[in-house]
Amino acid sequence: MYGEPTADGWRAWDPGRSKLGGMFELGFQTGLSGGETVLYLGAASGTTVSHVADFAGPTYAVEFAPRPARDLVEAAEPRDRLFPLLKDARTPTRYAHVVESDVDAIVQDVATRGQAEVAVRNARFLADDGRLLLAIKARSEDVTAAPEAVFESALDRLREAYEILETRRLDRFHEDHLGVVATPK
């Protein structure tokens, strides 16, 4: 896919192109080891979500924009566990009839204002012991605000629905991004 190098049948996962890949590289405790059911919010053209679907169980890939969704559909074609959904992650009621409840992980990589609100609205799908793996993009929230202020505001909103287990800046790979691992309250 996309000309990525492979080794032993696995595609190389570039942490500079994937916030989740950066979280793995930085040692976040994602709880992902293989076979999990995943809801992926902000799937874009399918690069990272296709990596996830290569080792996870059923992987529901939500993408709002039609152009990247076309590439996502192509990425899903050879993967029987990857289910692309042309939907808006801000309105989970529009895909609730498709996504199974009690998913093991929600991976969120959306570039919009209200990223914490998106996570809270989608918490309904997460199993009690599931994990939210979120990349908060400060510049998508407010390009004029200090990233730390943006992160604190987002974390305050997340704490209403989640217990925050781990946070760390992803600046080594993605400037002004905060990785978050959380579990539902």
102 found inside a domain: yes
149 found inside a domain: yes
49 found inside a domain: yes
pLDDT in tens, 99-145: 988 999 999 999 999 999 999 999 999 999 999 999 999 999 999 99
Domain, as residue range, for 131? 14-184
Scanning the chain, the segments in alpha helix (DSSP H) are 19-25, 47-55, 66-76, 115-122, 138-141, 147-158
Query: In this structure, are residues 113 and 140 in contact, taking their beta carbons and an 8 Å threshold?
Result: yes
Q: Is 59 annotated as a binding residue?
A: no
Q: Is 110 annotated as a binding residue?
A: yes
Q: Measured between alpha carbons, how far is 88 from 92 in angstroms, rounded to an integer?
A: 7
Q: Is 53 annotated as a binding residue?
A: no
pLDDT of residue 4: 60
Q: Is 48 annotated as a binding residue?
A: yes
- 133 to each of 3, 19, 77, 130, 137, how far by Cα in Å? 27, 10, 25, 10, 13
Total domains in the fold of the chain: 1
Q: Is 89 annotated as a binding residue?
A: yes
Question: Taking the CA of residue 132 as centre, how many other CA atoms within 13 Å lie in the half-sphere pointing to its CB?
Answer: 35
Q: Is 112 annotated as a binding residue?
A: yes
pLDDT in tens, 22-73: 999 999 999 999 999 999 999 999 889 999 999 999 999 999 999 999 999 9
CATH code, domain with 64: 3.40.50.150
Say if residue 14 is exposed, middle or buried (CB neighbours under 10 Å; 0-12, 13-18, 19+): middle
6 found inside a domain: no
Q: Is 63 annotated as a binding residue?
A: yes
Q: Where residue 14 falls among pLDDT bands split at 50, 70, 90?
A: confident
Q: Measured between alpha carbons, how far is 63 from 169 in angstroms, rounded to an integer?
A: 25
Q: Measured between alpha carbons, how far is 101 from 147 in angstroms, rounded to an integer?
A: 33
What are 137's strand-pairing partners?
A: 177
Q: Measured between alpha carbons, how far is 46 from 73 in angstroms, rounded to an integer?
A: 8
